[in-house]
Structure 1
Amino acid sequence: MRDRLRALLDGIVPSGSVLDRTVQSGVWATAIKVSSRFLQILMLIVLARVLAPRQFGLMGIALVSLSATRNFSKIGLKTALIQRRNENVDEYLDTAWCLETGRGVVIFAVLFAAAPLIGGFFDEPNAVPLIRVIGLGPLLFGLRNPGIVYFRKDLEFHKEFVYQVSGGIVQFAVGVGYALISPTVWALVFAYVSADAFKFGLSYVVHDYRPWPSFDVSIARELIDYGKWITASSVLYFLYREGDDAFVGWFLSATALGFYQYAYRIADTPSSEVSEILASVSFPAYSKLQDDPVELRQALLATTRVTGFITIPMAIGIALVAPTFVPVVLGDEWTPMIRVMQLLALYGLFHSITRNFGSVWKALDRPDVIAKLAAVRVACIAALIWPAAARFGIEGVGLVVVGVYAFPMLPLDVYILSKMTEIRPLLFFREWFYPLVGAGVMFVSLRRLRGLMDVTPLVELVVLIPTGIVVYTAAALVLSQVSPWKIENDIRSIAGSLS
Structure 2
Amino acid sequence: MSLRERIRMVVSRLRPSGNTAQRAGKSAVWLGSQNVLGRLFQLTTLAVLARLVGPAELGLVGIALLTLSAIRKFTNIGLNTALIQKVEEDVDSHLNTTWLLEIARGTLIFGVMFAVAPYVADLVFSEPRATALIRATALSPLLLGIRNPGVVYFKKNLEFEKQFVYKLSGDATQLIVGIGYALVEPTAWAFVIGYVAGDAVKLPLSYVVHGYRPWPSFDLEIAKELVGYGKWLTGSSILYFLYSEGDDVFVGWLLTPTALAYYQYTYRFSNAPATELSQVVSGVMFPAFSKLQSDEEQFRDAVLRTVRVTSLIGFSSAFGIIAVAPTFVLAVFGEAWLPAVPAMQVLAVYGMLRCIGRTFGQVWKTIGRPDYITKLSALRVVLIAIAIYPMTAEFGILGTALTVTGIFVFPMMPLDVHITARAIDAPARDLYYEFVFPLLASLVMWAVVRSARVALDVNPFVELAVLIPLGIAVFAGAVLVIERPVQWNVTDEFKQIARNIVS
TM-score by length of 1: 0.97
Tell me whether 1:223 sits opposite 2:210 in the alignment.
no
In structure 2, how many angstroms separate the alpha carbons of the residues matched to 1:427 and 1:222?
36
Number of the residue aligned with 1:254 = 257
Q: Which amino acid counterpart does residue 66 of structure 2 have in structure 1?
A: V
Number of the residue aligned with 1:423 = 426
Query: Equivalent residue of 2:270, what SS?
Result: helix
**Counterpart contact for 1:9–1:159, Cα < 8 Å:** no
Q: Deviation at 1:450? A: 2.8
Tell me whether 1:235 sits opposite 2:238 in the alignment.
yes
Q: 1:149 aligns with which of 129, 139, 152?
A: 152
Tell me whether 1:389 sits opposite 2:392 in the alignment.
yes
In structure 2, how many angstroms separate the alpha carbons of the residues matched to 1:58 and 1:175?
15
Alignment of 1:159-174 (within 5 A): 159-174=162-177
**Counterpart contact for 2:324–2:449, Cα < 8 Å:** no
Q: Deviation at 1:489? A: 1.2
Structure 2 unmatched ranges of 5 or more: 1-7
Alignment of 1:337-416 (within 5 A): 337-416=340-419
In structure 1, how many angstroms separate the alpha carbons of the residues matched to 2:423 and 2:345?
34
Q: Deviation at 1:12? A: 4.8
Q: Which amino acid counterpart does residue 20 of structure 1 have in structure 2?
A: Q
Number of the residue aligned with 2:34 = 32
In structure 2, how many angstroms separate the alpha carbons of the residues matched to 1:443 and 1:96?
48
Number of the residue aligned with 1:3 = none
Tell me whether 1:464 sits opposite 2:491 in the alignment.
no
Number of the residue aligned with 2:105 = 103
Q: Deviation at 1:457? A: 2.6
Number of the residue aligned with 2:186 = 183
Tell me whether 1:66 sits opposite 2:68 in the alignment.
yes
In structure 1, how many angstroms separate the alpha carbons of the residues matched to 2:314 and 2:338?
25
In structure 2, how many angstroms separate the alpha carbons of the residues matched to 1:154 and 1:59?
36
Q: Deviation at 1:250? A: 0.5
Alignment of 1:18-57 (within 5 A): 18-57=20-59
Q: Deviation at 1:458? A: 2.6
Number of the residue aligned with 1:270 = 273
Number of the residue aligned with 2:291 = 288
Query: Equivalent residue of 1:355, what SS?
Result: helix
Q: Which amino acid counterpart does residue 52 of structure 1 have in structure 2?
A: G
Query: Equivalent residue of 1:439, what SS?
Result: helix
Q: 1:332 aligns with which of 331, 335, 345?
A: 335
Q: Deviation at 1:456? A: 3.0
Q: Which amino acid counterpart does residue 34 of structure 2 have in structure 1?
A: I
Q: Deviation at 1:329? A: 1.2
% identical aligned pairs? 50
Change (3 A) 1:135 1:353: same
Number of the residue aligned with 2:4 = none
In structure 1, how many angstroms separate the alpha carbons of the residues matched to 2:454 and 2:252?
37
In structure 1, how many angstroms separate the alpha carbons of the residues matched to 2:399 and 2:176?
36
**Counterpart contact for 2:14–2:501, Cα < 8 Å:** no
Q: Deviation at 1:306? A: 0.7
In structure 1, how many angstroms separate the alpha carbons of the residues matched to 2:401 and 2:456?
30
Q: Deviation at 1:114? A: 0.5
Q: Deviation at 1:467? A: 0.4
Change (3 A) 1:476 1:177: same
In structure 1, how many angstroms separate the alpha carbons of the residues matched to 2:419 and 2:451?
40
Q: Which amino acid counterpart does residue 174 of structure 1 have in structure 2?
A: V
In structure 1, how many angstroms separate the alpha carbons of the residues matched to 2:477 and 2:370?
39
In structure 1, how many angstroms separate the alpha carbons of the residues matched to 2:167 and 2:216?
26
CA distances 1:372-426 after superposition (whole Å, capped 9, x unpaired): 1100111110000001011111110000011000000000000011111112111
Number of the residue aligned with 1:17 = 19
Structure 1 unmatched ranges of 5 or more: 1-5
**Counterpart contact for 1:381–1:400, Cα < 8 Å:** yes
Q: Deviation at 1:290? A: 1.4
CA distances 1:15-69 after superposition (whole Å, capped 9, x unpaired): 1110010011001010110010000001111111111201111000000000000
Q: Report how many residues are paired.
A: 494
Q: Deviation at 1:9? A: 7.6
Number of the residue aligned with 1:75 = 77
Q: 1:434 aligns with which of 409, 413, 437?
A: 437
In structure 1, how many angstroms separate the alpha carbons of the residues matched to 2:261 and 2:455?
34
